[in-house]
Structure formats: C-alpha cells, structure tokens
Amino acid sequence: MTDPLTSWSLDTVCRVEFGPGRIELLPELIAATGHHRAFVVTDPGLRAAGIAERVLKILTAAGVEHAVYDEVAPNPSTGNVDAGAARARGFGPAAVVALGGGSVLDAAKGISLLVGNPDAAAADADRLWEAADGLPLIAVPTTSGTGAETNGFGVVEDTTACRKVYIGHPSVKPCVALLDPELTLGLPPAATAATGIDALVHGIESLASRGANAFSTAYAAQAVTMIGHSLPLAHRDGSDLQARAELMMGAHLAGQALTLSGLGLVHGIGHALTAHTGTPHGVALAAVLEEVMEFSTPRAREPYERAARALGVTPPADGDWARAAVAAVRELSGALDVKRPLRALGADRSLLPAIAAGAVADAVTRNAPRLPEEREVLEILTRVY
Ligand SMILES: NC(=O)c1ccc[n+]([C@@H]2O[C@H](COP(=O)([O-])OP(=O)(O)OC[C@H]3O[C@@H](n4cnc5c(N)ncnc54)[C@H](O)[C@@H]3O)[C@@H](O)[C@H]2O)c1
Ligand SMILES: [Fe+2]
C-alpha cells in the first residue's frame, strides 16, 4: 500500500482525443487553441512512412495555413531545437503540432518554448523553466511508448556541452493529446517492441516508485494490463488495429502514471547506457529490466504482486508473486526478442563503472524502491554483460 498520508497534487488536465481516424479532428483542435495556423514538427521517418503527408493533406483540405520542420533526429539535439525554432519564429504565431515519437514530441516542446522567448537558445534550458510562455502544443504521438504527450519537458542532447538538458515549461505541456492508433499501424516490429517495453517499464516502475500514490497506481495497474495483453499481438501483427489501440491507450496511461509518481533504477541505468552507447531507449531498458526487478524485490513485493496480477499471472503455488512477476516479464520480453547482452549494444566492459556511476547519479533513480550503491549496479551490469 502507498502511504495514505503521502501528499501529492494532480494536474493531468489536458484534452485527450482517442480513437482510429481521430486525426481528422486536427483542424478543429488547432482552432480551439485560438490560432488558425499550424507549425508542424516531425522527422524523416514519418515523412518516409507517408504519415506526415496524410496529416498535411488534412490541414490543406481544411485551409489551415502551415509550415513544417521535419529534421528532428532520434535523441534530438539542441541544434535541432534551435533550427526548428528559427523556422517557427519566421513563420509567426501558430499552434505547434508535434507529429512523431518521443523524439519529435520532446523537440517540439523546446521549439514552442523558444518561440515565446525570442532571445533564448536551447542551451539556455536550465533558466527557461520560469521564462515566458511558449506556443500552444498539440501532441500527436505515432509510437506507443514514451508517454511524452503527458508532460511539459523534453530531453535534449546539448552537443556543445556534451550533456542532456531538460527543456520545458508548464505552458508547453501539450494542451491536447491526439491519440490515433491508425498512425502506429506501420511501425516496424523491432520499434514496436522497443517502444512498447518502454511503456511497460513505465507501468512497472510507477507501481514500485517511492512517489506512487492512489492515482498513479490506478493508472499504472491498468496500463500494465493493457500493455501486457496488446504488446505481443501488435508485435506479431502490426496491422491489428485493436491491439494497436489497446497498446496506445496503455502507453498513454503509463505516461500519466509516471508523470505523477516518477520512475526508478531501470530508467537510471537505461539513460546512462544510452548516453554511453546510443542504444535506443526501450532496448536499453530491456537489457536490465528483470535483473533490476530481482534486485528491487525485497522492497517491492507488493507492487510486483500488483504487476503480476495486472499481467494475468496464475497465482503461484509457492505464493511468491514477485518472482512470478519477473518470470512473466521475462517471457514477454523473450517473445519480443528485444533483450540483448550489453556487449552486443556496444558497451565495452571498461565502460561499466561509468554507466553504474551515471545510473546512481541520475535523479530518476531516487524514486527506486531499493536505492542502489554503485557497486550493486555494477554487479547487475556484469550479470547482463
Ligand atoms: N518527455 C518524456 O517524457 C520522455 C520520456 C521518455 C523518453 N523520451 C525521449 O523520447 C525519445 C524516444 O522516443 P521513441 O521511443 O518514441 O522513438 P523516436 O521518436 O526516436 O522514433 C524512433 C523512430 O521511429 C520512427 N517512427 C515513429 N513513428 C513511426 C510510425 N508510426 N511509423 C513508422 N516509423 C515511425 C521515427 O521516424 C524514428 O526514426 C528519446 O529521445 C527519449 O529521450 C521522452
Ligand atoms: Fe521511458
């Protein structure tokens, strides 16, 4: 049980539009922001998949004047955000439409904010939290993973200072999350697996987080049920719209949960692994998920039981629900073929101490149910090497 005396506040108010074909509402949603023009942020993958064209056609048909920045890179950089902001400033007042995965959503938050702060650059992120408002943002996720549509910050690589910066502001938390599962039908199986595991980890880490409360737990438990059921189906058959829809809703709920509760050590290690090797976020998480759950079990028996029940696990004969949860996660991850040893992810053995140190120092780790020492993280990393 989470402590009933824990204080918390809830600010999930953003409009959510969910359903196949809902993308057609975009012109109306833009008008509801008070703007009649749109600045669309997207990436080359969405162009290649034909999704950007589908959406731009809807804007053209409705007579919505628009401009596009389509050069966001995976793990976007401050350079990306600055270039997008320069184009958006040139275009003038508009609603910003972020069309893509977490990378695009994150970059678009920075772009929106910089338009409201004409003298700032993305590298000023640390002082922009109390700056002027950005442009209103409509988030249209095309992966079912990060839940980035639920919060007002983006993770961006400052390529000059060689560090990750959090760029954000309350005004760039999306005012609408437009969740249309049709937009995810073409996501390839490997990307479906990696982004889906990210969403599953959000649910599991949110359940076990020190910051969990009744709201986050309710969202996270439902998220784990929906993701556990739909992820293998969407991975096996990407054209299964029912599975895509369930997965998208599950990932969104997991995002709502983590925004309220915080996460834990799987994300701490995942961030450090990505920083050192460039491994995609979900693949980095999958590499250590079960091992971190085993490490955390002494402090997370109850949340792991909740996770196991949410995954539909048969009651274990020995009553060890936590072990059953780990086994269920191992089976799910195995079916997705997403877990790789660290040596296959480009992590030289000599990098492990730096990855362990990075994981312990990452603020996300502070919510872990069992706080690790560097030596303990190194042991986990060595086991999965
Ligand atoms: N702000 C947050 O709360 C938050 C949380 C977690 C992660 N993130 C960030 O999100 C990023 C990862 O996002 P992601 O996992 O969604 O991946 P991504 O946005 O990097 O996309 C991965 C690839 O998939 C392609 N793609 C996306 N949707 C597609 C579709 N429907 N069909 C075909 N191709 C498609 C993209 O073009 C891209 O090449 C990282 O930069 C991470 O730091 C942010
Ligand atoms: Fe994540």
Q: Domain limits of the chain?
A: 15-183, 187-383
108 CB burial (10 A radius; 0-12, 13-18, 19+): buried
How many residues can be counted in the chain? Answer: 385
Number of H helices, E strands in the chain: 15, 8
Q: Which atom of ligand 1 is nearest to the CA of 45?
A: 37
What is residue 6's predicted lDDT score, i.e. its pLDDT? 72
- Indicate if the pLDDT at residue 152 is higher than 70: yes
Q: What is the rounded radius of gyration, in angstroms, for the C-alpha atoms of the chain?
A: 20
Atom 12 (ligand 1) nearest CA: 102
Write out pLDDT tens, residues 226-237. 999 999 999 999
- pLDDT tops 90 at residue 367: yes
Task: Quote the pLDDT of residue 85.
Answer: 98
Tokens coding 105: 């959503």
Q: Does domain 187-383 have CATH number 1.20.1090.10?
A: yes
**Cα–Cα distance measured from residue 106 to residue 109, given in angstroms and rounded to the nearest whole number:** 5
Residue 235 is encoded by which pair of tokens? 């991975």
Q: Is a pLDDT exceeding 90 seen at residue 151? A: yes
Relative orientation angle of helices 301-310 and 189-208, to the nearest 10 degrees? 140
pLDDT at residue 2 in the model = 62
Same fold across 15-183 and 187-383: no
Could you tell me the pLDDT band of residue 13, with boundaries at 50, 70 and 90? low
Q: Which two tokens stand for residue 169?
A: 């502001």
Whether residue 146 has pLDDT greater than 70: yes
Q: Angle between the 374-383 and 352-361 helix axes, to the nearest 10 degrees?
A: 130
Residue 59 CA to ligand 2 center (angstroms) comes to: 31
Which bound ligand lies closest to the C-alpha atom of 150?
1
Choosing from 155, 266, 267, 364 the residue with most ligand 1 atoms within 8 A of its CB, the one to mutate for a pocket test is 155
Q: For the ranges 5-14, 129-138, 260-269, 366-375, which has the lowest average pLDDT?
A: 5-14
| Ligand 1 atom 39, closest CA | 45
Element (H, E) at 70: none
**What Å distances lie between residue 102 and 31, 42, 154, 291, 311, CA to CA?**
24, 11, 9, 26, 25
Give the atom of ligand 1 at the shortest distance from the alpha carbon of 255.
3
Ligand 1 pocket mutation pick from 42, 106, 362 by most atoms within 8 angstroms of CB: 106
| Region 85-108 average pLDDT | 98
Distance separating alpha carbons of residues 207 and 187, to the nearest angstrom: 28
pLDDT digits (tens, 9 = 90+) for 101-135: 999 999 999 999 999 999 999 999 999 999 999 99
Residue 157 pLDDT level (bands cut at 50, 70, 90): confident
Ligand 1 atom 28, closest CA: 142
Distance between CA atoms of 154 and 148, rounded to whole angstroms?
A: 8
- Ligand 1 residue neighbourhood (C-beta within 6 Å): 43, 45-46, 49, 51, 74-75, 100-104, 106, 142-143, 145-146, 148, 151, 153-155, 183-184, 186-187, 191, 195, 198, 281-282
Residues 148-174: what's their mean pLDDT? 90
Q: Please give the distance, rounded to the nearest whole angstrom, from the Cα atom of residue 161 to the centre of ligand 1.
A: 23
- Give the pLDDT of residue 263: 97
Least confident of 43-57, 89-103, 150-164, 347-361: 150-164
Distance CA 251, CA 75 (A): 19
Could you give the CA distance from residue 35 to residue 21 in angstroms, rounded to a whole number?
23
Cβ neighbourhood burial of 28 (10 Å; 0-12, 13-18, 19+): exposed
Residue with the smallest CA separation from ligand 1 atom 7 is 146
- DSSP state for residue 201 in the 8-state scheme: H
Query: What pLDDT does residue 1 have?
Result: 53
For the residues 169-194, what does the mean pLDDT come to? Answer: 97
Q: What is the CA angle 285-287-291, rounded to 5? A: 95
Q: Kindly state the average pLDDT of the residues 298-324.
A: 98
Q: pTM for the whole thing?
A: 0.96
Topology of the domain covering 15-183: Rossmann fold (3.40.50)
Atom from ligand 1 closest to the CA of residue 259: 3
Rounded distance, CA 140 to CA 38, Å? 13
Atom of ligand 1 at shortest distance to CA of 183?
Answer: 31
Question: Could you report the per-residue pLDDT of 38-81, keeping only the tens digit for each?
Answer: 999 999 999 999 999 999 999 999 999 999 999 999 889 999 99
Mean pLDDT of 198-217: 96
- Residue 12 pLDDT grade (very low, low, confident, very high; cuts 50, 70, 90): low
Report pLDDT for 7.
75
Alpha helices in the chain (DSSP H): 26-32, 44-48, 51-61, 78-91, 102-116, 189-208, 214-236, 241-261, 265-277, 281-286, 289-296, 301-310, 321-336, 352-361, 374-383
